[in-house]
Chains A and B, each alone.
Chain A
Amino acid sequence: MNAKEILSHTEKYLAERLPVEKMNYASMVQKKEVPVHGLAWGYYIGGLAMFFLMVQIATGLMLLFYYQPTVSDAHASVEYITEQVPAGALVRNVHAWASSLMIGSVLVHLLTAFAMKAFEKPRELTWVTGVLLLGITFGFGFTGYLLPWHQVAVNATKIGLQTIEQIGGYLPGPMAEWPRLVKEIIQGEASVGQATLSRFFAIHVIVLPLAIFGVLGFHLVSVQLHGMSKGVDEKPRRMEKFFPTFLLKDLRVWGIAFMVLFILGVCLPFESLFAYPLFEPFDAKGSTPDGIKPEWYFFWVYYPLELLPLWVILLGSAVLALVLLATPWIFQNTNRKTLRLVAIAAGIYLLVMTLFGENIYHLFKG
């Protein structure tokens, strides 16, 4: 195959995945239809995740007006937001709740899209960008966790970053030093300190938002160009118009989501779910407090990490990441029934590890 052929192949491939000729009013608004079938609720989850992202952007910008990203002031400014600023507690609480709900809906979106075989040709790139969005969302969670600069935040981040260094033990020769270098690049200095806070802040409010806008833009445009995927093997009961029928239903889901979020934000402080009072400012000279753990959305990897040797987890994560990225090609010939079973199994694993991870840990470790 010569260069010319490769070029024309690439061109054909891209043209199939990005049918820009469909970028017009008629096919994007007038003709677009959504199938109605048993799994049709899955079509709402992606929009829901986007709704929570919008809430995150709005509340995040509001918090940005008061938050001060320095080691000495970060905790005091967060305290000031919660205790002094009118509605500050609400805004911060909504930000915390919406982050969890966003990650939750992104995970459910991943599973339903998988179960519906929404990655089928020509939607491979939509799936791959979706996996990238998942990574970005976890990045948001990890970097945002540090910003309040309290005991749990700093100590959990320390442990999370230290895990990177541990990888060095499995690498040969001079490569053994690389993970430590990577850690120090992320961290900005020898231990978690002001440099880390500045970097995490920059990543959380500038780098990741820019990244998510770009990737999400591509994701949405390709969803809009290809229309909704078929979702099930059998014939759908009927089709409904995307505009206005489905859109109105979507907005209704958003409205309910907002109401739930608002009620949670008003009634239940996110931090009240933690069983330990670790929200004192970080104390560099104190011992690491008991019961440090990451946010619930990392439990699925955290508890296995506590139970199994690191290399098993590393290998597992690497395989998982590769399988997720290559899903459209690995599973292109699998039928939807099998995919649904795999998705259910994965869902059960996530649910069990998130809800009962600690019990399982104690079962094995006493």
Chain B
Amino acid sequence: MIDAFLFIGLPYIALIVATIGCVRRARFSKFSMSARSSQFLEDRQLLWGSAPWHIGIMGVLAGHGIALLLPQVWSYILTVPPAMYLIETVGVACSLLALAGLSTLIYRRLTSARIQAVTTTSDLLVVALLFLQVLVGLLSAVSFRYGSAWSTATVVPYFWSLLALQPDMSYVSGFPMLFKLHLIGGWLFVLLLPFTRLIHILAVPFQYLWRAPQLVIWNTTRRRKQALAASIRAESRREFIKGAAGVTGATGLLALGVSSKAINFFKGASQDPEAESALLEKKLQRLKLTAEERSYELERQRNTMILVAGYAELDAVKGKYFIDYAMAPGLAFKGKDGMPIVISAKCTHLGCTVSSTLDENGRIMCPCHISYFDILTGMPNPGAPAKAPLPQIAWALVDAGGKVLASNTPGQASGKVAAPEALAQSSLYITKPGKTAA
């Protein structure tokens, strides 16, 4: 029964009284639509009270307002976890700021004699209630986490049910006492709106944002000089604070961004097992390739003959790459007479590897500076960047039994010649310079 009064009766009474009261006050006492300023009486404490209080409470109210009026937008934003953390953090920070400011204002109202002179009982009531309301709000936000999310699904439908004249308090009647207090407090403020200084909420001085600053001009020279000096001081202080805030903010953001990247960089990758095994496999593959190369090198130091390919693998147009005794690339073709043509593939110009496909003139090309080499003589085309011919490489054809069927050493006449059917079973070897095929 008491719940029904507090969550249905009180809201309607408050809304009706507030509407009628505000309209009345606006009609019949237009110039009282404000909070009486006390800035002339005391301005130092006011700055440190009023500014934080208003900044903080506006932040908090903006959150409440968006949630109440645009619940869908609000809950959409809250589905992003970082956004929710941000909203919660900003909310708590704003209410702490508001509380700090309000404490200063209360202290000022209770201790300054000048302010005492203009303080009414309703001012004290409002300020005390506000303090309690923000405190209770902050406590409920801290003790029941993620209020921004859960209240969107409870308080907001309750609020809209009231507006739709179908009041449904089942949304809120199960709340803990602390939060109920906060809700009741809210309606109480609606009720108090037309009768206290709270009315100034409805008289927001938006034009302050763009109107020109008001200059107080003094008529005596001394006062004018003082005022000028004071305004210069204030201006330079403002500029300094702006600059310092900009630099601090930028440096802070920069440090934050860079360190967040840097810390993660040094923390290293967190890999799933699949990626990790893929990486290991790749590394193993590369190691095997390197090992293979090393073994080639060793082979070339120890063996007098090295296998290039089976005779059947040789082709007349597409050469087969191999590594020669100098650890440089070589190419093996099958010549027109069926004998292999074995030639170095290291360009005599700048050491690029010559490509392996013969053109229609029986030449292979170096892609780096476009030299064409005739594979029979090794000579480059006239005018090519390469001047020296590609050297021929000594080779031998050996059959399965280890018998040398044919061999060739550059600068010497070809060795034995064998029957084609025997050649087909043989393999092509290169022979170490200075040694003859055995």
Contacts and interface: CB of A to CB of B under 8 A. Distances in A.
A235 interface: no
A266 to B, nearest CB: 10
A333 B222 CA distance: 61
Interface in A277-319: 281, 284-290, 292, 306
A292 B329 contact: no
Contact of A289 (B265, B322, B326, B367): B367
Contacts of A70: 290
Question: Interface size for chain A: under 10, 10 to 19, 20 to 34, or 35 or more residues?
Answer: 35 or more
Contact of B264 (A73, A86, A190): A86
Nearest to A155: B352
A86 B269 contact: yes
Contact of A76 (B261, B286, B327, B329): B286
B353 A88 contact: no
Interface string A245-275: 0000000000100100000000000000000
B351 interface: yes
Given A72-B286, A155-B352, A285-B323, A84 B275 contact: yes
Q: Is the interface of B mostly helix, strand, loop or mixed?
A: mixed
Contacts of B271: 84
Contact of A72 (B261, B290, B328, B352): B290
Contact of A191 (B264, B266, B328, B355): B328
A295 B271 CA distance: 34
A159 B351 contact: yes
B358 to A, nearest CB: 13
Contacts of A73: 283, 286-287
Given A75-B286, A76-B282, A289-B367, A85 B268 contact: yes
Contact of B352 (A65, A87, A159): A159
Contacts of A284: 293, 323, 329
A177 to B, nearest CB: 16
Contacts of B250: 255
Contacts of B293: 71, 284
A157 B345 CA distance: 18
Interface in B315-360: 321-323, 326-329, 345, 347, 350-356
A210 interface: no
Contact of A80 (B264, B279, B290): B279
A62 interface: yes
B128 interface: no
A286 B283 contact: no
Contacts of A287: 321, 329, 345, 352-356, 367
A162 interface: yes
Contacts of B55: none
Interface in B256-303: 261-262, 264-269, 271, 275, 279, 282-283, 286-287, 289-290, 293
Contacts of B261: 86-87, 90-91
B279 A84 contact: yes
B279 A85 contact: no
B244 interface: no
Nearest to B282: A76
A159 B368 contact: yes
Nearest to B329: A285
Contacts of A229: none
B24 interface: no
B286 A281 contact: yes
A158 B350 CA distance: 8
A100 interface: no
Contacts of B268: 85-86
Contacts of B254: 258
A77 to B, nearest CB: 9
Given A65-B266, A85-B269, A288 B286 contact: no
Given A86-B265, A87-B265, A159-B350, A290 B286 contact: no
User: For this complex, into which size category does the number of interface residues on chain B fall?
Assistant: 35 or more
Given A76-B282, A90-B261, A155-B352, A288 B368 contact: yes
Contacts of A72: 283, 286-287, 289-290
Contacts of B223: none
A286 B406 CA distance: 28
B416 interface: no
Contacts of B353: 286-288
Interface in B131-146: none
Nearest to A289: B367
Nearest to B364: A287
A166 interface: yes
A162 B354 contact: no
A137 interface: no
Nearest to B291: A72
A255 B258 CA distance: 13
B264 A87 contact: yes
A290 B367 contact: yes
Contact of A88 (B265, B275, B283, B323): B265
Contacts of B327: 190-191
A135 B153 CA distance: 69
B114 interface: no
B262 to A, nearest CB: 7
A292 B368 contact: yes
B350 A62 contact: no
B369 interface: yes
Interface in A46-74: 62, 65, 70-73
A27 interface: no
A198 interface: no
A57 to B, nearest CB: 14
Contacts of B289: 72
A207 to B, nearest CB: 25
B279 A158 contact: no
Interface in A79-100: 80, 84-88, 90-91
A158 B349 CA distance: 12
Nearest to B250: A255
A327 interface: no
A354 interface: no
Nearest to B260: A87
30 contacts: A62-B262, A62-B266, A71-B290, A71-B293, A72-B290, A73-B283, A76-B279, A80-B279, A85-B269, A86-B269, A87-B261, A87-B262, A87-B264, A87-B265, A91-B261, A155-B352, A158-B351, A159-B350, A159-B351, A159-B368, A162-B351, A190-B327, A258-B254, A284-B323, A285-B329, A287-B321, A287-B345, A287-B352, A287-B356, A288-B353
Interface of A: 62, 65, 70-73, 75-76, 80, 84-88, 90-91, 155, 158-159, 162-163, 166, 190-191, 255, 258, 281, 284-290, 292, 306
Given A84-B279, A289-B367, A292-B367, 13 more contacts: A73-B286, A76-B283, A84-B269, A84-B275, A86-B267, A86-B269, A159-B351, A162-B350, A190-B326, A285-B323, A287-B321, A287-B352, A292-B352
